[in-house]
């Protein structure tokens, strides 16, 4: 069964980026100069977004983040954003060799985005940095990972999570091929459509809901105990030891999809750490992600617990 130690901590290992966000009518083609508006700097980074989501959505589970930032003004801003959300930032260390990570993001009028990251200090997060935090994985309910830090560091974290008994959740984003020995260390992997196609060795493209069971089975054969396919406006599909479920997406007015997947993962970790059954956890994660899409920016868009619950109360039960 996929479950987490109740009341344990949620520990997120991953990236912190300062996002430079510009809204555009449509995403520019190669070589094109586009005119944008509403430039903003907004705290982001897949790891930090997941930590922020878990902290805003948790009732009582403590949330902590492991990561690296430079010695610059962005680092202070990113730490402050997480601390304000309730994340323990004492495991985010400074790095002298590289600046804080940044992301350049264009968001079009349909809410779709294009992102380029310059990882900076995120690339300096080493397996040894996680070794020194070994104890944190022992008391954790869930350990969350993504792929904006070096793969050997993610693998080291997954090993610590397994040894410590924490439920590991890997968001395989940004998409990259993953070796079987890394996937075998994962309890729950949560690819979007592009990432799922890459991991399953098929052409990137949309996944029809009818294809989800076959694709999830193919991914589980590569090692993880369970899979959640994040299917955008088609919702999500879970396949694990206790069964298979499709949770439809909530319809909202999309402003910006940035960090919707991160919000989903943070929310899913919270719900599983609270011991909620998988279908309920998926519904909660879909609700939090849907709310995040209605607002601009990464951490700026992540809802609080009360907001997610109120949104759910307004939805017809299905």
What is the binding site for ligand RIB (CB under 6 A)?
A: 15, 17, 19, 44-46, 49, 103, 115, 117, 148, 258-259, 261-262, 298
Q: Are 107 and 130 in contact, with CB atoms under 8 Å apart?
A: no
Q: Which is nearer to ligand RIB, 17 or 239 (CB)?
A: 17
Q: How far is the CB of 176 from ligand RIB (least distance, A)?
A: 14
Q: How far is the CB of 83 from ligand RIB (least distance, A)?
A: 18
Q: Which is nearer to ligand RIB, 17 or 168 (CB)?
A: 17
The radius of gyration of the chain from alpha carbons, rounded to an integer in Å, stands at 18
Q: Which is nearer to ligand RIB, 108 or 148 (CB)?
A: 148
Q: How far is CA 82 from CA 16, 54, 69, 94, 189, in A?
A: 10, 11, 13, 15, 24
What phi and psi, each to the nearest 5 degrees, are found at residue 272? -70, -35
Q: How far is the CB of 162 from ligand RIB (least distance, A)?
A: 25
Q: Which is nearer to ligand RIB, 129 or 195 (CB)?
A: 195
Do strands 140-145 and 87-88 pair parallel, antiparallel, or not at all (unpaired)?
Answer: unpaired
For 257, which DSSP code? -
Write the DSSP string, 34-83: --EEEEEEEEE-HHHHHHHHHHHH-SS--EEEEEEE-SSHHHHHHHHHHH
Q: Which is nearer to ligand RIB, 148 or 274 (CB)?
A: 148
Q: How far is the CB of 12 from ligand RIB (least distance, A)?
A: 13
Angle 294-300-303 from CA coordinates, rounded to 5°? 60
Q: How far is CA 192 from CA 15, 166, 171, 220, in A?
A: 18, 23, 9, 15
Active-site entry in 108, 129, 256, 262: 262
Q: How far is the CB of 186 from ligand RIB (least distance, A)?
A: 19
Residue closest to ligand RIB, measured at CB: 44
* Annotated catalytic residue 233: no
- Catalytic positions, written as ranges: 262
């Amino acid at each position: 069964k996929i479950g987490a130690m109740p009341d344990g901590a949620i520990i997120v290992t991953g990236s912190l980026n300062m996002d430079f966000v510009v809204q555009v009518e449509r995403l520019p083609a190669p070589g094109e100069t586009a005119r944008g508006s509403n430039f903003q700097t907004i705290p982001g980074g897949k790891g930090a977004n997941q930590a922020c989501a878990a902290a805003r959505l948790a009732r009582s589970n403590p949330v902590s983040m492991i990561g690296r930032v430079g010695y610059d003004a962005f680092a202070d801003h990113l730490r402050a954003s997480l601390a304000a959300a309730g994340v323990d930032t004492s495991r985010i260390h400074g790095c002298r060799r590289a600046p804080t990570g940044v992301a350049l993001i264009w968001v079009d009028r349909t809410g779709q985005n294009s992102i380029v990251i310059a990882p900076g200090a995120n690339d300096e997060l080493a397996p040894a940095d996680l070794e020194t935090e070994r104890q944190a994985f022992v008391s954790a309910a869930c350990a969350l990972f993504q792929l904006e830090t070096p793969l050997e560091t993610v693998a080291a974290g997954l090993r610590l999570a397994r040894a410590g008994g924490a439920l590991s959740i890997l968001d395989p984003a940004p998409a990259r091929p993953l070796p079987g020995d890394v996937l075998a260390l994962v309890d729950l992997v949560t690819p979007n459509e592009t990432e799922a196609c890459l991991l399953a060795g098929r052409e990137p493209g949309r996944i029809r809901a009818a294809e989800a069971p076959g694709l999830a089975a193919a991914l589980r054969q590569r090692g993880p105990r369970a899979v959640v396919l994040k299917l955008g406006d088609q919702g999500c599909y879970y396949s694990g030891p206790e069964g298979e479920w499709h949770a439809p997406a909530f319809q909202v007015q999309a402003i910006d999809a940035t960090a919707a997947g991160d919000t989903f993962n943070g929310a899913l970790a919270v719900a599983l750490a609270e011991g909620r059954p998988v279908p309920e956890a998926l519904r909660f994660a879909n609700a939090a992600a849907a709310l995040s899409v209605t607002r601009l920016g990464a951490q700026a868009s992540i809802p609080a617990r009360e907001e997610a619950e109120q949104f759910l109360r307004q939805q017809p039960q299905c």
